A and B are shown apart, each in its own frame.
Chain A
Amino acid sequence: MIRILLADDHTLVRRGVRLILEQEPDLTVVAEAADGAEAVERVRDTEVDLVVLDIAMPRMTGLQAAAEIARRRTPPRILMLSMHDNEQYFFGALKAGASGYVLKSVADEDLVGACRAAMRGETFLYPGAESTLVRDYLDRLRRGERVPASVLTAREDQVIKLIAEGRSSREIARELHIAPKTVEGHRANILGKLGMRDRVELTRYAIRAGLIEP
């Protein structure tokens, strides 16, 4: 059973998120907080496996709370929930110690998957950040810069170009006449090969690529 702390300053949003999470048999919300400071306190007095933090909260923002929580000796996994479709927030969240970033506009589809990915120790990339990273990688490759050594198969090469164009898995599947499940597999492999599955690796890559400041 995954024990979750949920922090959002909007009561109704919190309730909506809770209902979505608790539909899953392996997820349970054990505590709620209305701002960042309260979230930090709850983590102190409640045992949780995963913290879901809204970015924009009063008193202490989600990013500040994440940094605070990540400093604990055995920190829970952290997921950010955000209105901002902007990879700078995503990288900010990674730097603060979060392992995933879920847009509120796709929370109904992605949140449960992101919770499970976080518990598996994987980073959850929201689609915009993924295509930004991949496009940047291809740009650097084209300019002949040194990039993390990786050998992509011919198929993965096709897939990575379509990801860079911002296509969804379903669109890529249609384009290449393969099953969406297969595309997801390629996607995961590509991200793994480029070191974008791991939070620390990914942060390091983004700093090297000049996508964020160290």
Chain B
Amino acid sequence: MRLPSHLPLFWTIFLLNGVVLVVAVLLLLFSPARVSSDAVPSEILVIGIGLVVMLLTDALLIRWALAPLHRLIARLEDIARLEPTELPEEGSGPVLGIARSVNGLLDRLAEERRTGDARALAAQEAERHRIAQELHDEVGQSLTVVLLGLKQLESQAPAALVPDLAAVRESARAGLDDVRRVARRLRPGVLEDLGLASALAALATDFADHSGASVRRSFAPGLPPLSPEAEVVVYRVAQEALTNAARHADASGVELSLQKVGAHVVLEVRDDGRGFTGLEEGSGLMGMRERAALVRAELAVISRPRRGTTVRLRVPVTEEVPA
């Protein structure tokens, strides 16, 4: 039996108590039991038993009525401690109301977290971009001037100074290489200058250079354009997947592909490495998921021991509405 769902908590309890009292009154009126003006011990006993039965019945009924509320509280505690999930919208009256408001609140929190994450990541990318640009345009140029100037000086300097000048010039060159490497790690200029396919191709080449594994690229021609944010997500996920393949998987071959499947652009990074069991949700995977969520893309990681790992990212293509 369930109480009507629109009943406020006050009326629920009032009604239950009322039912118990009415039953007691009816029993008193229509049963042979009577109380004389001077209560005799047998009457006191009967009334005492009646009172106990009444109280017990009342307690049981109220407990039954409040049980959904207790279940709700237990679930709320779970939510506070663990991952936020939807509350089941069940139970009656106030419980249902609370469940609905909490769900609304959770939805808003999730939405705010998503936009907050998006803003943080966008700010991070923008900052990296700025630093990389300054490294290139300022530090890099100054070091180039030093490098060329030293070369020029060497041609005019007395022979005794030439080895020292050459050594300084090599340091300037090493500095320039460092600046370039740091700037490149911060922000792939190639993504902006030459597009996603070129940026992924460059990642593949880097990977082959550093890991010694061979990489097969296949990028479908004429892919629909993605938003700049989505391109950065695709790039970073590919980067992370390749880093994992190099660092943990001990792979000897990797396939990197970008295709259009239905209304999605699908990035796939497949390695033939060690693979892993269970869900080793390392920070790398978490980061990839968070980034994917930003552009409403789906990330799937499929891995089996000794069968390699496949990372698949499906990015929805947003239809550009012609203005």
Residues of A within 8 A of B218 (CB): 210
Interface residue B194 (Cβ < 8 Å from any Cβ of A): yes
B152 touches A105 (CB 8 A): no
State A55–B193 Cα separation when bound (angstroms). 10
CB distance from B110 to the nearest CB of A (A): 39
Interface residue A35 (Cβ < 8 Å from any Cβ of B): no
Residues of A within 8 A of B141 (CB): 10, 12-13
The 9 closest A-B pairs by CB, nearest first: A16-B148, A108-B151, A105-B176, A88-B198, A10-B141, A12-B145, A88-B202, A19-B152, A104-B144
Q: Which of B141, B176, B180, B190 has the most CB of A within 10 A?
A: B141
7 A-B pairs with CB atoms under 8 Å apart are A12-B142, A16-B149, A19-B149, A61-B193, A83-B144, A89-B190, A108-B148
Where chain B touches its partner, the secondary structure class is: helix
CB distance from B143 to the nearest CB of A (A): 8
B189 touches A84 (CB 8 A): yes
Interface residue B209 (Cβ < 8 Å from any Cβ of A): yes
Interface residue B140 (Cβ < 8 Å from any Cβ of A): yes
Chain A 58-69 against B: per-residue CB contact (8 Å), 1 yes, 0 no? 000101000000
Interface residue A92 (Cβ < 8 Å from any Cβ of B): yes
State A17–B217 Cα separation when bound (angstroms). 37
State A85–B177 Cα separation when bound (angstroms). 9
Interface residue A189 (Cβ < 8 Å from any Cβ of B): no
Residues in A lying within 8 Å of B, measured CB to CB: 10, 12-13, 15-17, 19-20, 23, 55-56, 61, 63, 83-89, 92, 104-108, 132, 135, 139, 166, 210-214
Residues of B within 8 A of A106 (CB): 173
Interface residue B276 (Cβ < 8 Å from any Cβ of A): no
A56 touches B205 (CB 8 A): no
Chain B 173-209 against A: per-residue CB contact (8 Å), 1 yes, 0 no? 1001100100110000110011001110110010011
Of the candidates A13, A55, A84, A166, which one forms a contact with B180 in the assembled complex, judged by CB atoms under 8 Å apart?
A: A84
State A100–B188 Cα separation when bound (angstroms). 22
CB distance from A83 to the nearest CB of B (A): 5
A-B pair count, CB < 8 Å, reads 100
Residues of A within 8 A of B197 (CB): 213
Interface residue B277 (Cβ < 8 Å from any Cβ of A): no
Interface residue B169 (Cβ < 8 Å from any Cβ of A): yes
State A32–B224 Cα separation when bound (angstroms). 40
Who on chain A is nearest to B206 by CB? A86
State A20–B154 Cα separation when bound (angstroms). 11
Residues of B within 8 A of A12 (CB): 141-142, 145
14 more A-B residue pairs beyond the given contacts A88-B194, A166-B209, with a C-beta to C-beta distance below 8 A = A16-B148, A19-B148, A19-B149, A56-B189, A84-B184, A87-B202, A88-B198, A92-B193, A104-B144, A108-B150, A132-B205, A139-B214, A212-B201, A213-B198
Of the candidates B149, B180, B183, which one forms a contact with A105 in the assembled complex, judged by CB atoms under 8 Å apart?
A: B180
Residues in B lying within 8 Å of A, measured CB to CB: 136-137, 140-142, 144-145, 147-152, 155, 169, 173, 176-177, 180, 183-184, 189-190, 193-194, 197-199, 201-202, 205, 208-209, 214, 217-219, 221
Residues of A within 8 A of B148 (CB): 13, 16-17, 19-20, 107-108
A56 touches B137 (CB 8 A): yes
Of the candidates A17, A23, A83, A87, which one forms a contact with B205 in the assembled complex, judged by CB atoms under 8 Å apart?
A: A87
B149 touches A88 (CB 8 A): no
Residues of B within 8 A of A84 (CB): 180, 184, 189-190
Q: Take A23-B155, A88-B202, A105-B173 as given contacts and tell me if A16 and B144 are in contact as well, using a CB distance cutoff of 8 Å.
A: yes
Q: Take A86-B190, A213-B219 as given contacts and tell me if A92 and B198 are in contact as well, using a CB distance cutoff of 8 Å.
A: yes
B136 touches A56 (CB 8 A): yes
Residues of B within 8 A of A19 (CB): 148-149, 152
Of the candidates B136, B142, B152, B194, which one forms a contact with A20 in the assembled complex, judged by CB atoms under 8 Å apart?
A: B152
A83 touches B136 (CB 8 A): yes
Residues of A within 8 A of B198 (CB): 88, 92, 212-213
Residues of A within 8 A of B208 (CB): 135
State A89–B193 Cα separation when bound (angstroms). 9
A211 touches B152 (CB 8 A): no
A210 touches B221 (CB 8 A): no
CB distance from A111 to the nearest CB of B (A): 9
Residues of A within 8 A of B183 (CB): 83
Residues of B within 8 A of A212 (CB): 198, 201
CB distance from A153 to the nearest CB of B (A): 25
A104 touches B140 (CB 8 A): yes
Residues of A within 8 A of B173 (CB): 105-106, 108
Residues of B within 8 A of A105 (CB): 144, 147, 173, 176-177, 180
Residues of B within 8 A of A166 (CB): 209
CB distance from B154 to the nearest CB of A (A): 9
Who on chain B is nearest to A15 by CB? B145
Residues of A within 8 A of B144 (CB): 10, 13, 16, 83, 104-105, 107
